């Protein structure tokens, strides 16, 4: 059985589309656990269109964000590489191309750490958005 540690998670997502920048910030609780030597984070969030469960696989050279529920996707981030993912919602699905400019995971002591990702998200032929994702987590007290 995998030991799961309760953690506090802070997610900041910035999306730049031309001159416009949208910032989304989430503070939530979740779980940190290891599968073998690989750390994982897991949390749920409520959106207008339903509940989404997010699992993040944290490796030094790669991060994988797996979302299920109201949204279904498996997005891989590998610095200097482009990856493809299918993004599925109740309204339909589309293919997204992700080019990761920067990825940095710094594990802390115990159940804590910080993941920073800078990437370009391409939707279709002519829609590219610049994204910054910062996820920090630490063991919940008490």
Mean pLDDT rounded to a whole number for the chain: 91
| Separation between Cα atoms, residue 86 and residue 72, nearest integer Å | 8
- Of residues 124 and 36, more confidence is placed in 36
pLDDT tens by residue, 40-69: 999 998 888 889 999 999 988 899 999 999
- Tokens 């910032």 belong to 23
Find out whether 9 and 140 touch, Cβ atoms under 8 Å.
Answer: no
State the burial class of residue 61 (Cβ atoms within 10 Å of its Cβ: 0-12, 13-18, 19+): exposed
Topology of domain 4-139 in CATH is Lipocalin (2.40.128)
Rounded Cα gap, residues 76 and 62, in angstroms: 7
What is the mean predicted confidence (pLDDT) over 33-43? 94
Q: Tell me: pLDDT of 1 over 60.
A: no
Q: Quickly list DSSP for 53-116.
A: EEEEEE-SSEEEEEEEESEEEEEEEETT-EEEEEEEETTEEEEEEEEEEEEEEEE-SSS-EEEE
């Amino acid at each position: 059985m995998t030991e799961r540690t309760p953690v506090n998670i802070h997610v900041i997502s910035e999306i730049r589309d031309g001159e416009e920048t949208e910032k989304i910030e989430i503070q939530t609780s979740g779980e940190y656990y290891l599968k073998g030597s690989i750390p994982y984070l897991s949390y749920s969030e409520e959106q207008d269109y339903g509940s989404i469960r997010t699992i993040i696989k944290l490796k030094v050279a790669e991060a994988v964000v797996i979302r299920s529920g109201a949204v279904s996707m498996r997005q891989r981030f590998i610095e200097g590489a482009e990856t493809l993912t299918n993004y599925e919602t109740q309204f339909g699905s589309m293919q997204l191309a992700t080019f990761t400019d920067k990825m940095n995971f710094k594990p802390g002591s115990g159940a804590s750490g910080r993941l920073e990702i800078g990437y370009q998200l391409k939707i279709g032929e002519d829609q590219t958005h610049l994204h910054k994702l910062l996820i920090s987590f630490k063991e919940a007290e008490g």
